[in-house]
Structure 1
């Protein structure tokens, strides 16, 4: 009997202690923002201002220059792919800024692998009239060839450039395919530059000529 009374007394004391403890308050899922933390703005106009400043030339785009690199061995014979178009299309067309960008990216890729750069430009190739007389008739002069032995990359470039003629030059050295008939002429600047960036520096392509 006494044991039963002790158990009941202990249970009552425990219940009393629980009743006296402060209850936990539910916290709101939306806690107040800590001091110094800015509230995100909807419809931030900073990107719009950047676009406008870029259009005015206030934001300088990437220069058409490349890190130091080594061109492929002149005497090495390979199967080359050439993309043909006129010089102004390659070097003075506001719509073709991706040429320099794509070459820059491939230079970076080859440099990271420790390989020589295998892209070449040649103005008025010596082999053009001799090997491809029909294709030569379709080109406005002076003509320029972009050369590379990597067929996959050249297929990518042909699709990007679109208005080019593709030809193959099997078993030729870099020196043979890069023999030019004249230097790249000095083009007059476009009458109206419509692109939202400055034109690339003149002569960026010289780095890819033997």
Structure 2
């Protein structure tokens, strides 16, 4: 007698009936009216689907909207500076005047807007106590939006302190405290070039509207 193996065909949507007596190995299958759905055809339905779509859309809109903090950060600009006491910067350093004058001349030839200034007793120094405690007063700062050039000037001037800060506008960045600069004239001037004239730095001061 030959053996038979009965297969479970329920997953095919059929219903197993008793096999006929003359051939027990061939069961009859009657198709089901409602076949079982395939797993990969399942989709979210009803309110859950609607909620998912709304949340996704809201998240997409929120992610593209800048926050108030980001807007404020975009308005601020970074200013780089070198600072030292006024006598060194304006009366003793041998190359400072020539370096600034040459850069200003170059900007004029290229029709480029000036991006560097000299600030006497700058107000932003109040935010740098570690610098002010090492600084003789009155102080003068060379301020620029060009960080690469400030690094170059640091190497040329050497005995200056370097840092940077952020400000919302030029007026805030270049604000200064009133100060009267006075330098004693040396009794004997031995250098092969004439001594700097008092006030040579005035063309490099901030615009009058920026001085506070």
TM-score bracket for the superposition, by shorter chain length: 0.5 to 0.7
Structure 2: distance between partners of 1:182 and 1:122: 11
C-alpha deviation, 1:99, in angstroms: 0.9
Q: Which whole-Å deviations, capped at 9, do the CAs of 1:29-81 have from their partners, x for residues lacking one?
A: xxxxxxxxxxxxxxxxxxxxxxxxxxxxxxxxxxxxxxxxxxxxxxx963111
Q: Say which SS state the counterpart of residue 92 (structure 1) adopts.
A: helix
Structure 1: distance between partners of 2:181 and 2:164: 26
Equivalent of 1:180 in 164, 176, 183: 176
Count of equivalent residues? 132
Contact 2:86 2:137 (8 Å CA) reproduced: yes
Aligned match of 1:116: 113
Structure 1: distance between partners of 2:165 and 2:185: 33
Structure 1: distance between partners of 2:180 and 2:87: 9
Any residues of structure 2 matched to 1:29-178 within 5 Å, and which? 78-93=77-92, 96-129=93-126, 131-178=127-174
Asked which structure has the greater CA Rg, the reply is: 2
Task: Provide the aligned C-alpha RMSD in A.
Answer: 1.7
State the TM-score, normalizing by the size of structure 2: 0.58
Structure 1: distance between partners of 2:79 and 2:153: 14
Structure 2: distance between partners of 1:163 and 1:153: 16
Structure 2: distance between partners of 1:113 and 1:141: 36
Contact 1:178 1:209 (8 Å CA) reproduced: no
Any residues of structure 2 matched to 1:14-25 within 5 Å, and which? none
List alignment gaps of at least 5 residues for structure 1: 1-75
Structure 1 runs (4+) deviating above 4 angstroms are none
Q: Does 1 or 2 have the higher relative contact order (CA < 8 Å, sep 6+)?
A: 1
List alignment gaps of at least 5 residues for structure 2: 1-74, 207-212
